[in-house]
Amino acid sequence: MELTFEQRKRSASNTVGRIVYERIILLCNILVRRYFVLTASDLEECYQNPESFRHEQDMIQWTQKLRPCA
C-alpha cells in the first residue's frame, strides 16, 4: 500500500511534533533539576513559614545562588 503525499506529510509532521515535544520536556526537566533545587531544610522552612521563606529568598542576590526564583 502506497501512501499519498498528504499522508506522508502528515506522518512527518506528527513525528517532528513528537520529537519537539519530547525535547521541550527534557529541557524543562534539566532546568528544574539544576536551577530550582530545594534542599530538605528549604522545604521544611518553606512549609513552616512560607511568607518568611519567600522574603528571605527575595533578599538573596541572584549572583549568590543558582536558584533565585525558587
Q: Residue 15, exposed/middle/buried by CB under 10 A (0-12, 13-18, 19+)?
A: exposed
Residue 67's pLDDT band (cuts 50, 70, 90): low
Global pTM value? 0.45
2-26: pLDDT as tens digits: 889 888 889 889 888 888 899 999 9
CA distance 69 to 62: 9
39-64: pLDDT as tens digits: 888 889 888 998 988 888 777 755 56
Domain assignments of the chain as residue spans, ordered by start: 1-35, 38-70
